[in-house]
Chains A and B, each alone.
Chain A
Amino acid sequence: MPRKASLHMASQTTAVTRRTVLSAAFGLGVAAAAGCGGPAPSSSTDTGEASGAIRLLTPIFEGAEGQKTLEGLLATFKQKYPKVTVEVDYTTYAKLNEKLTTSIAGGRPYDVMLMGVGWIPPFAAKGVLADLGENADALTSRFNKRVVDPGVYQGKVYALPIMLDTRFGIYRKDIFAEAGLSAAPKNFDELRDMGRKLTKREGGKLVRAGVDILSNDLRQTFLPLMWANGGELFTPDGKVAFNSPASVAALQLMTDIIVTDKTEDFGYTQPGAATGIPLVQGRAAMMVGHNNVWLEIEKNAPDLVKDSKIGFFPIANTRAAMFQGGTLGTVAAKSQHPAAAKALVQFLADSDAALAACRQRGNVPALKALESSEYVKANPSVQFAMGNLDSAFSEGGVPAWLEIRGDFKAAIESALLGKKSPQQALDELAAKATQVMARS
């Protein structure tokens, strides 16, 4: 029993070569628990027509409102595919990984899984995801190439984009005008100059930050700066590149803003803080921010919208850059109804579902066609993002990304706090990342 059970634990798809090791590893009580979890010995797999009951795991469409929206969409899906039933499991991004881990460990992953940009290469490399059989080039007729790329791993399409979330420059036109500035910064030098001019202190206390680089996740602030300066995360053959001179200069810029120019104090604010967003409060003149800052402005400072006091700009130095994250639809390699699952992913990536998902959280549609939709036209922030997708960059791209990304924040902070030089911070990070990539 232990030996048999442990084989199930170790999954059916992977060729398990070390049976003895396995049975010993799970020989004790583990087998009784963990082992007995695989699917029944016989299970048929359909190939042709889309049919069957499939399970969907979604970190979006949360809350009563999202649920109602998705149920409406699925009713439409049912009309199109009457033989397919969809069971939805609603979760949040905060607990998505726990749901993914347990369901995969249990040998019965969800047929359709919605996940973020960085997840695709690791999951595809480990054989969790099914090849969707799409042609990446053909997809560019419907999506921007930059949007298709995160779903592609080693030339195969494993995921279709549903919605995007972007980070770029946001500035207060009224504060700029007060300081005699008429346009947003076009390069790093202008960014620093303007930042210094716009900073206001009273008795040493910062009352207005010239540039707010702390309200957005630090990694997602650093990366667009790095890309704007011509840097890359990894080389095309998958080697660490984020300690190149161009990347170090981007971190140097952030350090200069905090340490040298003092246009913002470390600790002035933090991402998602309960103390609000400084730009909206008039405590910052510009920021690197998420496209849904717009919703916060609409809600808390509607006057800024009315008098069109908010402007957007791509982060730029040697090239323009915008950070692009997103939610993508994938199909499990182990799905017993792959045709139905693929049909659902297609449907979710299509205009109705994509638009509804974006509308719920103020995000950016992935489909080109939606640029002319009412929703996009009514939201200048989303409109700006869609207009600049050609300069969008995505993080990740290597299977080890999920093990690397968590260390960025501390490295950036140690530079901003003056504990390490930008070069030293990124070199150490790169060394650690290289080690991680060698391990897996």
Chain B
Amino acid sequence: MTVTSLPAKAPAAGAPAGPTRPRRRRRLGYERRRAAWLMLTPALIHLTWWIGIPVLATFVLAFTHYDVLAGTITWAGLDNFTEIFADETWNTSILHTVVYTFFTVPVAMALAVVIAVLLNAKMRARAWYRAAFFLPHITATVAIALVWMWMFEPNIGLFNAVLAMFGVNGPAWLSDPAFAMAAVIVVSVWKGVGLKMLIYLAALQSIPPETYEAADLDGASGPRRFWSITLPLLKPATFFVFVVSMIDAFQVFDQVYVLTPDGGPANATTVMTFEIYRTAFSEFRISTACAQSLVLFAFLLVLTVISRRLTGKDDDAR
């Protein structure tokens, strides 16, 4: 079974429509569609086999009791879902994930687009600046942890040293339930800016310089050019960055785990993916982990559909 055999709800927007179109165009439409399917098929086969089936398995297993050690499986109906929502830790992890996403995604995106625009201009040492901003993304997470743990160290760490200059007694960042998530968010924004900047930078390359010429004649200022020309043209890229960042943020694991191991102080930084990991591989309860994954899936699907509606038809067919 492939996804492709499913009927479409409606013809895609912008499709050449109507029975009165000339014959040549109809032939052309057929040729284009044939080419499209040929180009799409290898990818669809690969995705269906290696990701489609596992996703489907997740959907099925979520409604079973699958004991991986004993090798037994029985129908569970909604048991797994009642069980996870009765689990206080899981519910807290949903809240933490939402908070984490709410603060990391927009902040990192805003920073990234500004940096990308600045680094798109011709200037000295441009490649080196770009490399510097991308560096956190490629530096190993455990190595990063070594540094940030020193920065967040309550007695001699950089953060509290700065606070002490203003007479503020800083918290034990990573061990204080009130501040641990904030610390993780700071590190995540720092780590996440580079990749988003890179995508925006790539998108900026495809804006024709002519677009700006008219604005230059009008004498539009830098910020106005940014708001009225650059940003609207970056809409497809923004939709992409937003959806991908959101998916990443909802599935965050590494940074959180390395900075605040095992859910953080009194589970203050436990996130959904950590709970899923723990359920599946510390407790060997695969089907419960599948149910948790479906909750995560539902969140992401709803948010993606909403953001697609918001960017409107702009990102759709031409």
Q: How many Å lie between the Cα of A14 and that of B69 in the bound state?
A: 11
Which of B1, B73, B89, B262 contacts A25 (CB under 8 A)? B73
Residues A11 and B155 in contact in the complex (CB < 8 Å), given A29-B57, A266-B175: no
Asked if A98 contacts B281 (CB within 8 A), the reply is: yes
- Taking the closest CB of chain B, its distance from the CB of A202, in whole angstroms, is 10
Which of A18, A101, A265, A270 contacts B284 (CB under 8 A)? A101
Which residues in window 249-287 of A have CB below 8 A to B? 265-268, 270-275
Asked if B175 contacts A274 (CB within 8 A), the reply is: no
Asked if B283 contacts A126 (CB within 8 A), the reply is: no
Mask: chain B, 31-65; 1 = CB below 8 Å from A; 0 = not: 00000000000000000000011101100110110
Q: What residue of chain A has the Cβ atom nearest to residue B2's Cβ?
A: A29
Asked if B73 contacts A10 (CB within 8 A), the reply is: yes
- Taking the closest CB of chain A, its distance from the CB of B296, in whole angstroms, is 19
Q: What residue of chain A has the Cβ atom nearest to residue B86's Cβ?
A: A435
Query: Total contacts A to B, CB within 8 angstroms?
Result: 131
Asked if A126 contacts B67 (CB within 8 A), the reply is: yes
Q: How many Å lie between the Cα of A32 and that of B60 in the bound state?
A: 14
Asked if A104 contacts B149 (CB within 8 A), the reply is: no
Asked if B285 contacts A403 (CB within 8 A), the reply is: yes
Which of A26, A101, A104, A122 contacts B60 (CB under 8 A)? A26
B280 contacts the other chain (Cβ, under 8 Å)?
yes
B-chain residues with CB within 8 Å of residue A275 when the two chains form the complex: 149-150, 153
Mask: chain A, 20-44; 1 = CB below 8 Å from B; 0 = not: 0110111011101110000000000
- Taking the closest CB of chain B, its distance from the CB of A201, in whole angstroms, is 11
B282 contacts the other chain (Cβ, under 8 Å)?
yes
Asked if B265 contacts A417 (CB within 8 A), the reply is: yes
Which of B71, B154, B266, B281 contacts A11 (CB under 8 A)? B71
Which of A25, A107, A272, A417 contacts B261 (CB under 8 A)? A272
Q: How many Å lie between the Cα of A128 and that of B67 in the bound state?
A: 12
B176 contacts the other chain (Cβ, under 8 Å)?
yes
Q: What residue of chain B has the Cβ atom nearest to residue A428's Cβ?
A: B88
Asked if B280 contacts A101 (CB within 8 A), the reply is: yes
- Known interface pairs A13-B71, A26-B60; 13 further A-B residue pairs with C-beta atoms within 8 A, sorted by A's residue number: A14-B72, A21-B75, A26-B73, A34-B57, A104-B68, A123-B69, A266-B176, A267-B154, A268-B154, A268-B172, A270-B261, A410-B266, A417-B266
Of the A-B pairs whose beta carbons lie under 8 Å apart in the complex, a sample of 23, sorted by A's number, is A13-B71, A14-B72, A16-B72, A18-B74, A21-B75, A25-B63, A28-B60, A29-B1, A33-B53, A107-B71, A122-B284, A126-B69, A126-B70, A265-B172, A266-B175, A267-B154, A267-B265, A273-B149, A274-B145, A274-B149, A410-B89, A413-B265, A417-B265
Listed in ascending order, the chain B residues whose CB lies under 8 Å from chain A are 1, 52-54, 56-57, 60-61, 63-64, 67-75, 89, 145-146, 149-150, 153-155, 171-177, 261-263, 265-267, 278, 280-286
